[in-house]
């Protein structure tokens, strides 16, 4: 049987995508049994040819397995994709990779998605009828599938202290511990919509926690960064001045060749650390910042995550996360991301719900109108506090 | 075992394990190769450009496993931006490893003032919601900008992200430049609507275009209001995009970044609201990205991320200098509340 | 008759306000016939004792005259206040002041409000029955009353070139010309709410036009500011460096003692001008910026004014103002300030209504979500423009 | 003659007239005295602190006229911030003029890094809408900060504004520090409501607390929603504030400025949401203003306006350093849209 026109023309188009120096996913795909004709036709037609098929339910995988249904069975088959957890920090072994390849060959289309943007493996192209067997057999090799549905999605972290000297805590270990405590929330789809926790070991935020984390933990510190004097000495005057002038708050000064950082003014932006060639590191009094409400779409479009708590120990986050989960389940509408919910009810109310008092660090800027309510009790409280802080002069 | 395999320390080389928290310094040898130094050890990481949407044949996966065996006793990792990362024990090995990878067609690069990564979602390749095909755009961009990955310097770190629709799985708003697919057709309601949570679906629409028809147990999409964002399509299988002629496209979004370095975390801004889909090579899209990169390269100070440069000179000058035309969709009226909130974000 | 308790106690309170080095309005008031007992009682009671009495209509003053009604006739009388225009730039003569004083003695309570925050004189305390006579007699001296009601309120300008070398145009003269053309809008209350035009001769904005102007005109320029080389020479190296480092866009550089400004990067912020001890002045290629929608309250609270047009000649503003007035009258709800109206309908729509094409300078920042509409015609237009600007490479 | 007396050139001295647009330079002699220099002339301006709400007896107005006659042939002006401004032909005269004014009780000062002005509205003195009395607060502030007007330097220009209610006639949000009265009681509806535009009144409420009762030709104010902002009171004479016990107060708003100098035009932020009215001397209010000024003076760089300093160090540190307690009303939820828009503003 001859291929339909759109496939013939489509295959011409994708030939083009094998050229060029950037690694070609088409070249890779040609080595697999993925239905390339379907994809080729969709490029020609400028139209997606897959439709969602919901989830296949599998014993022991309450969130189900994602289905892909072809809208052109004549040129490409439907199939499913299975997500596979990686060890924390995305460290893998060659054994693990070969195992994955074996399963992809046996059950899938000899393709591996390594890795997804949320840092899982995926094995695409597993027919519906083989899913149960796949899951049972695969698990027996010490691997786990999941990370779909309205549940706690894969938790991601930066590589942390395993490779990076900026890390303020062991981020991959934190993920391990997170799963020891919260695995049920990852397994059972009991949320209004997905929840994602992303973790970075320092404010450089290599895990993009501040952008993608419904809940984010970012390691930081209080006061001045740590100066390694003997290394600092190796810098030229010009390099020192660059550090001084780079500081956004003017916290750094240079007097008689001696660099000084006023901890009080430091906002932990890491600029000096970045410019210092290893001679300035995150400060010693660690702080761990818990943010909420980041995401890229939801109903209201992208939000960056907002700071809700400064902790002395990252593990203090666990109880707060538990509270946030409960508040989320109780207050969010269906398919409402945490950030949209907070937006709808207001940060003040959210803080009340998770039982936190408002602090200046909860805001980046202050209100610019006086259209608010002050109750008589609040008036009394305010007056007292103002007297306390201003009275003694 | 439930959840991910753990503890992670079982999956790392002893040279790494004994240095957790003990690394003292790192040095960049050349694009993609970094030296990690502790008091007792040195190791090298070699970072590799992934394919679009990180799709590999099992053949290649096995070759990666072979390289891991050959150079680091069977250990490797993937970076948070889905690039394979290999290890070597000596600089010599690192350079050999780099050659091995390059001969397989996988360039090594990134770090410092280079392109670090191009993340991309599945698009038409594997997803049901795509308005544009992310992998082919990512490939076209990669070919056009590879010199910034493994050769030429830029003013600062640079990232690209491509997503097939507003869900932004491949990243969008977050990279220095992102491409995001936008549906511009009105979705239609099918039989399947019965199986959806009608109220929930109506609530999800950002512009209130979905009218509940409680009595008829269905919903109606008000064409004059609908902006074709696709949120309802993702939330309810009874709503689909299906018109005879498809004229979807994608937006070019500029200036996202995550890190705390001033101006801190930034959500990208819509610079070109719409470019029609034009596979396989998306000339205009690639040109617009190149135009932005090159103008930035020419005008920015060293160390100045794309958005830092734009904040310094202002958007008016940005359009002037890049020559990119300004369209009214870049002006925000629709939902300033979100705009506000997202810009607020504490801490950083 | 003895004064009631609140007056006695109130008079004690206001005694306190005669002390201290800042000029005392109480000391001034004691020299007048203003009902100080009423005010004293209100301070004691912590309650305003005036109520609004609407407007007294007077022939030839269609906006009427503002009434003040006492809520305690036992301790202070009702009266009215008349607003009086000043010459542009608030220049006055001793003759004018004495004339004002004479009328305040004869018709008012021997008090002059000189000047209001919107830069009119006021003569308070004129009884209702004397208003007509006052207006007729006062006008005969060459003065005019007004600036109330839902009309064009007093137009204010900075002192401009009459005293200031930064002025890019003759701001007081512009106000004179404005009244020659727009006086009817100032006289007849035909607007949904008040409208205010405020004018500054340079971006330093001494008239606070950007904060208080429903419509604002601010003089500026294009490209680099003007360097007066012979004066610049008198500055020390340190002063020069301060200028270089002060520039927010990095437009200024110092090479071999020679200061250079890249006009292309200048945002006309005036920082270098301010630091230059007279050696840098606004650039020679003047531009006049028209802003809309500033105000301090309205329904939505304070808004800064937003830029809508860059003009080569400030008088181009007249026709645009005419259009804005018409759009305002047609589209605003009752008591809706221009800024609130624009907020409600959106800047894009407002630009359409006043027939202006959108430009990047209409925004300070760009949209951060893709929830917008693009029509098929717009797609075609966009494609063409993109090809035109990017195609030629 | 309709509208203002014009042309303005008829009301200025010939020494000014012949120099319009020809001034070359100005120099500050001492607080309040400025020298204006053109190629052919020199004149001096002498700037005077006005009384609260710029209220004068006709006696004083005539004395001003006398001084204008004595030193500048009968010409003077008022600044845009309602301060009287006199002229002199020589520096000697300028200093004499200053003495004359001071002996009348009118300090001369302002310019450069000093307090420039305190603007204030009528408050209880003359207005029907006041929640707080602006003139007495302005006077109390003036007495407390006068040294910054005519003696001590601050880091930069500094202004104060006091308004009796949200209408902000005396200025609010716009000065470096503003005090604004806030009603906290719920207004009541009187007989007079019949004469109001009901729909228009309902529409004006920023929180939607006014319910239209079309049938009964009245409106109802929903107590649980009303924030007592007073907008309806100003718009309709059938709504008034009238409860037996008054507990109104005022907010302290920090960081407004108009000029283009970075960070450009700024709307002030609510730093203290509520202080009860406490005439005649408003101790806490004055103390809070002093605390802010003194902390700024101590910590800011030379030339750094109050808001520029705060933007550099952040609000968290602002509260830390001033010791002012933080209250939740300073967090904005009510109307972020406005917040956004107002911050947007083009150009500057
Ligand atoms: C596989 C993956 C992209 C990739 O190729 O790497 C992916 C693929 C899909 N995402 Fe995603 N998302 C993936 C990471 C993301 C990310 C990035 C991240 O997590 O770092 C985001 C943006 C971050 C965020 O959450 O804000 C993301 C935001 C979404 C959304 C928007 C959710 C929202 O309402 O905000 C949807 C739509 C939905 O859930 O209704 C979505 C839905 C989908 C679906 C399931 C849509 C569908 O039903 O067809 C996609 C399946 C495509 C397929 O068949 O391959 N995906 N998705 C990523 C899997 C991550 C994982 O291992 O769990
Ligand atoms: C490997 C990786 C973390 C991981 O867990 O996988 C990583 C690791 C490091 N990052 Fe990162 N970053 C990684 C993604 C990111 C991301 C996310 C991304 O690109 O998708 C960000 C946020 C990006 C943003 O701001 O938009 C990120 C923001 C930074 C920055 C801040 C850059 C800036 O100027 O704003 C630095 C500092 C620097 O470059 O000097 C940094 C620096 C570093 C360094 C190299 C330390 C340094 O001084 O350069 C870390 C080295 C760890 C190590 O020794 O291996 N890392 N880093 C990620 C590599 C991704 C890739 O394949 O491209
Ligand atoms: C006299 C004056 C204050 C002063 O003591 O100097 C004043 C006094 C009043 N203003 Fe004002 N406003 C005065 C300048 C202002 C300013 C400042 C300015 O224009 O530079 C503003 C803020 C700027 C702005 O417009 O945004 C201002 C915003 C208001 C508002 C709020 C309008 C709004 O909706 O945004 C009202 C209430 C209203 O109109 O509904 C108001 C209302 C009033 C009334 C008429 C209220 C009333 O009916 O009692 C006040 C009469 C007080 C009295 O009896 O003395 N006044 N008013 C100023 C007269 C200016 C003039 O000569 O025309
Ligand atoms: C007289 C006055 C204009 C008028 O028409 O009356 C005035 C006139 C000048 N202003 Fe102004 N400003 C006047 C109110 C303002 C205001 C409004 C206000 O204070 O109420 C502003 C906006 C304030 C703000 O930004 O919040 C204003 C922002 C400036 C600035 C910018 C200051 C800054 O650092 O941000 C300068 C530049 C400077 O100070 O070096 C300036 C400078 C000047 C100078 C002195 C030129 C200079 O280099 O210092 C002008 C001298 C004119 C002259 O020769 O007489 N003028 N100036 C106003 C005096 C008001 C008063 O009595 O206090
Ligand atoms: S976020 Fe910080 S600690 Fe983690 S890898 Fe990046 S630089 Fe290192
Ligand atoms: S971390 Fe940032 S704010 Fe802190 S001292 Fe370094 S450069 Fe300054
Ligand atoms: S961004 Fe859209 S097209 Fe791409 S994988 Fe996610 S849902 Fe599919
Ligand atoms: S596509 Fe978007 S705008 Fe249109 S109805 Fe669905 S959710 Fe609403
Ligand atoms: S606004 Fe400019 S031109 Fe006008 S007085 Fe102020 S400094 Fe001079
Ligand atoms: S006016 Fe401002 S932006 Fe322009 S050169 Fe001077 S300091 Fe720089
Ligand atoms: S601000 Fe309020 S109290 Fe003051 S004059 Fe204006 S309306 Fe009256
Ligand atoms: S006082 Fe303000 S909030 Fe209350 S009803 Fe009137 S307008 Fe609405």
Using a CB-CB distance cutoff of 8 angstroms, which residues of chain D are in contact with residue A374? Answer: 182, 184, 249, 273-274, 329
Residue C89 near ligand 3, beta carbon < 6 Å: no
- Residue B20 in any domain: the answer is yes
In degrees and rounded to multiples of 5, residue D8 shows phi and psi of -65, -25
Torsion angle of the four alpha carbons D102, D106, D107, D108, in this order, in degrees rounded to the nearest 10: -90
- The pLDDT, as a whole number, for residue C60 is 85
Decide which of B103, B136, B164 is a domain's last residue: B103
- Residue B166 in any domain: the answer is yes
Dihedral sign, Cα of residue C307, residue C309, residue C315, residue C316: negative
Beta bridge partners of A79: A68
Interchain CB contact of D9 with A (< 8 Å):
no
- The pLDDT, as a whole number, for residue D332 is 67
Interval C110-125 mean pLDDT: 97
Cis peptide preceding A115, ω within 30 of 0? yes
Using a CB-CB distance cutoff of 8 angstroms, which residues of chain D are in contact with residue B339? Answer: 340
* Cα C350 to ligand 12 centre (Å): 28
pLDDT in tens, B34-46: 999 999 999 999 9
Which A residues 186-215 touch B at CB under 8 Å?
A: 186-187, 203-212
CA A159 to chain CA centroid, Å, is 13
Q: Following DSSP, what letter does each residue of D56-97 receive, concatenated?
A: EEHHHHHHHHHHHHHHHTTEEEE-TTS-EEEEESSHHHHHHH
Q: Which of D112, D120, D132 is nearest to D82 (CA)?
A: D120
Interchain CB contact of A301 with D (< 8 Å):
no
Interchain CB contact of A100 with B (< 8 Å):
yes
- The pLDDT, as a whole number, for residue D151 is 97
**Do B175 and B260 share a domain, yes or no?**
yes
Interchain CB contact of B186 with A (< 8 Å):
no
Which D residues 187-216 touch A at CB under 8 Å?
A: 206-207
Q: Which of B292, B276, B264 is nearest to B178 (CA)?
A: B292
Q: Looking at residue B276, which CATH number applies to its domain?
A: 3.30.413.10
Mapped to the 3 state alphabet, what secondary structure does D174-192 carry?
CCCEEEEEECCCCCEECHH
Q: Which of C348, C354, C353 is nearest to C378 (CA)?
A: C348
Which of C264, C373, C387 lies at the smallest CB-CB distance from B284? Answer: C387
- The pLDDT, as a whole number, for residue D1 is 56
- The pLDDT, as a whole number, for residue C387 is 96
Opening angle at CA A166, ends A164 and A170, nearest 5:
70
How close is the nearest chain D Cα to the Cα of A218, in Å?
Answer: 18
**Do D234 and D253 share a domain, yes or no?**
no
**Do D159 and D255 share a domain, yes or no?**
yes
Q: Looking at residue D52, which CATH number applies to its domain?
A: 3.30.70.3340
Interchain CB contact of A234 with B (< 8 Å):
no
Task: Give the residues of chain A that fall short of pLDDT 50.
Answer: 393
State the Cα–Cα distance between residues B60 and D158, nearest whole angstrom.
Answer: 68
Using a CB-CB distance cutoff of 8 angstroms, which residues of chain A are in contact with residue C300? Answer: 369
Q: What residue has token string 């283009």?
A: D260
How many beta carbons lie within 10 A of that of residue D104, not counting itself? 14
- The pLDDT, as a whole number, for residue C54 is 78
- The pLDDT, as a whole number, for residue C233 is 95
Opening angle at CA C241, ends C239 and C244, nearest 5:
115
State the Cα–Cα distance between residues D39 and D56, nearest whole angstrom.
Answer: 37
Q: Any idea which architecture C156-221+285-353 has in CATH?
A: 2-Layer Sandwich (3.30)
Name chain D's partners: 3 or more CB pairs within 8 A: A, B, C
- Give residue C345's pLDDT band: very low, low, confident or very high (50, 70, 90): confident
Interchain CB contact of D173 with C (< 8 Å):
yes
Cis peptide preceding B7, ω within 30 of 0? yes
State the Cα–Cα distance between residues C34 and C40, nearest whole angstrom.
Answer: 11
Q: Is B162 helix (H, G, I), strand (E, B) or coil?
A: strand
Which B residues 213-232 touch A at CB under 8 Å?
A: 231
User: Taking CB atoms and an 8 Å limit, are B167 and A270 in contact across chains?
Assistant: no
* Cα D131 to ligand 11 centre (Å): 8
How close is the nearest chain A Cα to the Cα of B150, in Å?
Answer: 11
Task: Give the residues of chain D that fall short of pLDDT 50.
Answer: 334-348
In degrees and rounded to multiples of 5, residue C265 shows phi and psi of -100, -10
Residue of A nearest to D247 (CA): A376
Does position C386 have pLDDT exceeding 90, yes or no?
yes
**Do D68 and D206 share a domain, yes or no?**
no
Residue B182 near ligand 7, beta carbon < 6 Å: no
CATH number of A50-148: 3.30.70.2500
Decide which of B57, B74, B103 is a domain's last residue: B103
* Cα A250 to ligand 6 centre (Å): 8
**Do B195 and B73 share a domain, yes or no?**
no
- Residue B38 in any domain: the answer is yes
Tokens describing residue A388: 């306390």
* Proportion of chain C in helix, strand, coil states, percent, rounded to 5: 40, 20, 40
Decide which of D103, D132, D165 is a domain's last residue: D103
Number of domains in chain B: 3
C-alpha atoms less than 13 angstroms from C-alpha of C274 in its C-beta half-sphere: 21
Task: Give the residues of chain B that fall short of pLDDT 50.
Answer: 334-348
Beta bridge partners of C303: C295
pTM for this one?
0.94
State the Cα–Cα distance between residues C216 and C236, nearest whole angstrom.
Answer: 38
> Helix H segments across B80-210?
91-103, 134-150, 198-204
Q: What is the best residue among D78, D165, D169, D230 to mutate for testing ligand 3's pocket, by most ligand atoms within 8 Å of CB?
A: D169
State the Cα–Cα distance between residues B131 and A46, nearest whole angstrom.
Answer: 9
Find the ligand nearest to D174 CA. Answer: 4
* Cα B203 to ligand 12 centre (Å): 29
- Residue D116 in any domain: the answer is no
C-alpha atoms less than 13 angstroms from C-alpha of D161 in its C-beta half-sphere: 27
**Do D170 and D213 share a domain, yes or no?**
no
Residue D207 near residue D338, CB atoms below 8 Å = no
Q: Is C389 helix (H, G, I), strand (E, B) or coil?
A: helix
- The pLDDT, as a whole number, for residue A37 is 97
pLDDT in tens, D55-104: 999 999 999 999 999 999 999 999 999 999 999 999 999 999 999 999 99
Dihedral sign, Cα of residue D253, residue D258, residue D259, residue D263: positive
* Cα A263 to ligand 6 centre (Å): 9
Opening angle at CA D236, ends D233 and D240, nearest 5:
40
Residue A337 near residue A344, CB atoms below 8 Å = no
State the Cα–Cα distance between residues B330 and B233, nearest whole angstrom.
Answer: 24
A45 exposure class (CB count in 10 Å sphere: 0-12, 13-18, 19+): middle
Domain span at B141: 121-182+246-343
In degrees and rounded to multiples of 5, residue B78 shows phi and psi of -120, 135
- Residue D274 in any domain: the answer is yes
Per-domain residue ranges of chain C: 1-48, 50-148, 156-221+285-353
Q: How far is CA B294 from CA A35, B306, B321, C343, in A?
A: 38, 11, 10, 37
Which of C52, C167, C336 lies at the smallest CB-CB distance from D21? Answer: C167
* Cα D234 to ligand 3 centre (Å): 10
How close is the nearest chain A Cα to the Cα of D214, in Å?
Answer: 26
State the Cα–Cα distance between residues D122 and D118, nearest whole angstrom.
Answer: 13
**Do B193 and B291 share a domain, yes or no?**
no
């Amino acid at each position: 049987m001859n291929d339909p026109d759109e496939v013939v023309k489509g295959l011409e188009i994708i030939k083009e995508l094998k050229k060029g120096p950037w690694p070609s996913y088409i070249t890779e795909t040609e080595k697999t049994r993925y239905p390339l004709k379907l994809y080729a036709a969709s490029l020609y037609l400028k139209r997606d040819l897959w439709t969602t098929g919901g989830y296949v339910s599998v014993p022991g995988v309450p969130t189900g397995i994602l289905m892909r249904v072809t809208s052109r069975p004549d040129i490409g088959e439907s199939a499913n994709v299975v997500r596979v957890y990686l060890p924390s920090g995305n460290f893998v072994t060659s054994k693990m990779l070969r195992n994955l390849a074996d399963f992809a060959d046996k059950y899938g289309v000899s393709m591996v998605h390594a890795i997804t943007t949320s840092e899982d493996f995926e094995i695409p192209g597993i027919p519906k009828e083989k899913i149960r067997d796949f899951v049972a057999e695969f698990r027996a090799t010490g691997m786990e599938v999941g990370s779909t549905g309205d549940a706690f999605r894969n938790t991601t972290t930066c590589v942390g202290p395993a490779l990076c000297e900026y890390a303020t805590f062991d981020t991959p270990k934190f993920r391990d511990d997170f799963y020891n405590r919260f695995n049920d929330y990852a397994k059972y789809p009991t949320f209004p919509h997905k929840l994602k926790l992303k973790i970075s070991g320092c404010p450089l935020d290599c895990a993009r926690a501040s952008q993608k984390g419904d809940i984010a933990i970012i390691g930081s510190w209080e006061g001045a960064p740590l100066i390694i004097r003997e290394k600092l000495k190796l810098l030229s005057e010009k390099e020192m001045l660059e550090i001084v002038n780079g500081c956004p708050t003017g916290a750094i000064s240079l007097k008689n060749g001696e660099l000084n950082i006023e901890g009080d003014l430091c906002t932990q932006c890491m600029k000096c650390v970045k410019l210092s060639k290893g001679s300035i590191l995150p400060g010693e009094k660690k702080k761990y910042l818990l943010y909420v409400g980041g995401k890229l779409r939801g109903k209201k479009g992208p939000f960056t995550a907002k700071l809700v708590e400064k902790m002395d120990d990252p593990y203090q986050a666990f109880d707060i996360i538990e509270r946030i989960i409960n508040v989320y389940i109780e207050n969010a509408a269906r398919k409402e991301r945490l950030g949209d919910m907070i937006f709808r009810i207001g940060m003040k109310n959210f803080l009340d719900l998770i039982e936190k008092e408002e602090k200046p660090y909860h805001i980046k800027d202050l209100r610019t109108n006086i259209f608010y309510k002050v109750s008589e009790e609040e008036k009394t409280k305010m007056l007292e506090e103002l007297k306390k802080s201003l009275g003694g002069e | 075992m439930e959840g991910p395999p753990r503890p992670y320390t079982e999956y790392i080389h002893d040279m790494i394990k004994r240095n957790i928290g003990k690394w003292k310094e790192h040095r960049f040898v050349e694009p993609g190769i970094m030296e990690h130094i502790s008091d007792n050890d040195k190791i090298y990481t070699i970072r590799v450009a992934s394919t679009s949407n990180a799709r590999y044949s099992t053949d290649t996966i096995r070759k990666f496993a072979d390289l891991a065996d050959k150079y680091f006793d069977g250990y490797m990792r993937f970076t948070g931006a889905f690039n394979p990362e290999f290890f070597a024990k000596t600089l010599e090995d690192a350079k050999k490893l780099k050659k091995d990878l390059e001969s397989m067609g996988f360039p090594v690069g990134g770090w410092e003032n280079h392109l670090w990564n191009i993340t991309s979602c599945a698009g038409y390749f594997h997803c049901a919601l795509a308005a544009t095909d992310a992998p082919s755009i990512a490939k076209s961009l990669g070919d056009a900008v590879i010199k910034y990955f493994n050769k030429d310097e830029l003013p600062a770190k640079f990232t690209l992200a491509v997503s097939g629709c507003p869900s932004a799985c491949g990243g969008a708003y977050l990279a220095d430049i992102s491409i995001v697919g936008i549906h511009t057709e009105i979705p239609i309601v099918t039989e399947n609507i019965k199986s959806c949570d009608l109220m929930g679906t109506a609530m999800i629409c950002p512009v209130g275009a979905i009218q509940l028809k409680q009595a008829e147990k269905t919903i109606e999409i008000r064409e004059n209001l609908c902006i074709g964002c696709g949120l309802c399509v993702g939330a309810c299988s009874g709503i689909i995009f299906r018109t005879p002629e498809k004229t979807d496209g994608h937006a070019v979004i500029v200036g996202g970044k995550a890190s705390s370095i001033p101006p801190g975390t930034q959500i990208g801004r819509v610079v070109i609201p719409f470019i029609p889909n034009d596979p396989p090579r998306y000339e205009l899209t690639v040109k617009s990205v190149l135009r932005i990169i090159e103008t930035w390269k020419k005008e920015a100070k060293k160390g100045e991320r794309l958005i830092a440069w734009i904040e310094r000179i202002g958007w008016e000058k940005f359009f002037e200098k890049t020559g990119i035309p300004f369209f009214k969709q870049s002006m925000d009226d629709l939902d300033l509340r979100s705009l506000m909130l997202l810009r607020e974000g504490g801490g950083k």
